[in-house]
Chain A
């Protein structure tokens, strides 16, 4: 084992410091065309007219691509996980978010492509838009998605991700106090320095070589193949050097649209997003709305949690059902709460569809749980370290989705923090371990969860 513990230089370090690292934008191919998109200027509308003839006839324009050029217009990126597709690669009859791509122009230079995109004739019939996930269920809320205003295809066609565990009503009856809180983290744009980009080269043998900034090469390959209805072996993906992604380059769709333009033009096509497009039109981390009510005893046991989560998926589902599912599995965080009542909704709005960003689905609930536990300590007048240690995950405790923890690190982590900041803990808290609860330390409310214990 030569590498572990050794200080190794980055294998790409010399290339980085000499400016030789090749990002997609740095790849040079002859006869390359530049692409620019026509994007929706409105949040929600029907498309009543779409005419690309004038644009296509402009000098220097080699291809204009719309929904008509896409062999399979709708493909769910996570169909393998049971999430059906709902999003057209390019808008057909309507637009559901400002910035939604409608057409792509490939031309001799960026400026010509931009002028041609502006020359596409398009008319909209605007509709009311929904931006507040809390209003999605109002009787007068605009209806914005063909599935309804929230995702209805969880298992058994449920419209909510549910976790039920134990007896929540009993937990709330037995509690000395209920601590409630609402947590609403905002959307975050991943903002990598390298914007979305793809370069597609048609090869003489009928294959496509695709230079991509994707974070998930084989995944993107599958997406392109599905939309084009091509076998995978007609695609050669070249990736690996990404100028920052942070989750925002997992649901890349630039390759597919560029590929269609390259096929139509018979020449390589590069589509490089501007910084404005990156901020306004690329997918972000989602905004969330979380309501938590914890049933707690005056000596600091968390008996049960009721939680409602609304996740803002934006105009289409993309990965949101997966994100909310992960979120539900981790909604008690580092603590074991035996009685649970969780409902999570993937709500649609007329915003840019949301996606992954570092810790997808889980960072939101970690923030909410930690803040909530701190508030609970304040309400009870209890030391926040002690409250945490008491309820910390132990070996054998089960997660909200029923997985037994084999190696939870909550207790040692809290001990380390206390030591690092010089926070004195009473002896019995210092003595706590992450071993399975047993003996005198086993609280009654956890007995059913852990099983029979010999006293």
Chain B
């Protein structure tokens, strides 16, 4: 099976039903998507599949054969943060950091499809992402700032 991750092509011999989360973390060493629940219930495993946010813990490899995957490493680097990353950092949208990669990717995908997203749309886009630390207020401020800077 073939997979492009953050622009780099990979040929994989893994089992067709191996979850994409495990392939990314264990075989490709990309550890930003997390194993928070492995039931699709928390959003820490979210990655972009051809630009769309999906739960990598629920995706068998066969479902993404040939697809382009983006993880948070693909949004920017420490030397050059992407706009969503910069907004989260600036607005303190992160405490322990475990939910952050998933939140960033969901936010990035939201802005791509709806550059002027209002509060309701923002809440719907992030509704599946759990954060146990922040109480969400600063996360929403960060997303609004990211939407603001995009438009």
Contacts and interface: CB of A to CB of B under 8 A. Distances in A.
Nearest to B39: A275
B36 A20 contact: no
A192 interface: yes
A253 B25 CA distance: 25
Interface stretch (B48-56, B60-68, B76-84, B117-125): B76-84
Contact of B34 (A9, A193, A241): A193
B132 A193 contact: yes
Contacts of A233: none
Nearest to B31: A26
A17 B87 CA distance: 9
Nearest to B76: A18
Contacts of B81: 14, 17-18
Given A191-B132, A275-B37, A275-B39, A21 B97 contact: yes
Contact of A9 (B89, B96, B97, B101): B89
Contacts of A194: 34, 36, 96, 98
A28 interface: yes
Contacts of A195: 35-36
A30 interface: no
Contacts, number: 100
Given A193-B42, A193-B130, A12 B31 contact: no
Contacts of A246: 132
A25 B132 contact: no
Nearest to A242: B96
A9 B38 CA distance: 32
Q: DSSP class of B's interface residues: helix, strand, loop or mixed?
A: loop
- Interface size class on chain B is 35 or more
Given A12-B97, A244-B132, A25 B78 contact: no
A275 B97 contact: no
Given A193-B34, A193-B98, A243-B97, A19 B71 contact: yes
B7 interface: no
Given A10-B94, A246-B132, A275-B39, A17 B88 contact: yes
A272 interface: yes
Contacts of A19: 31-32, 71-73, 100-101
Q: DSSP class of A's interface residues: helix, strand, loop or mixed?
A: loop
A124 to B, nearest CB: 29
A416 interface: no
B34 A16 contact: no
A398 B130 CA distance: 43
Contacts of A16: 88-89, 94, 97, 100
B29 interface: yes
Nearest to B77: A18
B20 interface: no
Interface in B8-63: 25, 29, 31-32, 34-39, 41-42, 44
B133 interface: yes
Interface in A15-59: 15-23, 25-26, 28
B99 interface: yes
B111 interface: no
A25 to B, nearest CB: 6
Contact of A193 (B25, B78, B88, B96): B96
Interface in A58-111: none
Given A18-B81, A193-B42, A275-B36, A23 B88 contact: no
Residue picked from B32, B34, B88, most chain A C-beta under 10 Å:
B34
Nearest to A110: B22
Contacts of B73: 18-19
Contacts of A241: 96-97
Residue picked from A17, A18, A22, A275, most chain B C-beta under 10 Å:
A17
Nearest to A197: B35
A14 B42 CA distance: 22
Interface in A214-264: 241-244, 246
A359 B32 CA distance: 32
B97 A15 contact: yes
17 contacts: A10-B89, A13-B89, A15-B78, A15-B97, A18-B73, A18-B85, A19-B72, A20-B32, A22-B31, A25-B35, A193-B98, A241-B96, A243-B96, A243-B98, A244-B96, A244-B98, A274-B38
Interface of B: 25, 29, 31-32, 34-39, 41-42, 44, 71-73, 75-78, 81, 85-86, 88-90, 92, 94, 96-101, 104, 130-133
| A-B CB proximity, top 6 nearest | A19-B32, A16-B97, A243-B98, A19-B72, A26-B31, A275-B37
Given A13-B94, A246-B132, 15 more contacts: A10-B92, A10-B94, A16-B89, A17-B72, A17-B88, A18-B72, A18-B78, A19-B72, A26-B31, A193-B99, A242-B96, A244-B96, A244-B132, A274-B38, A275-B39
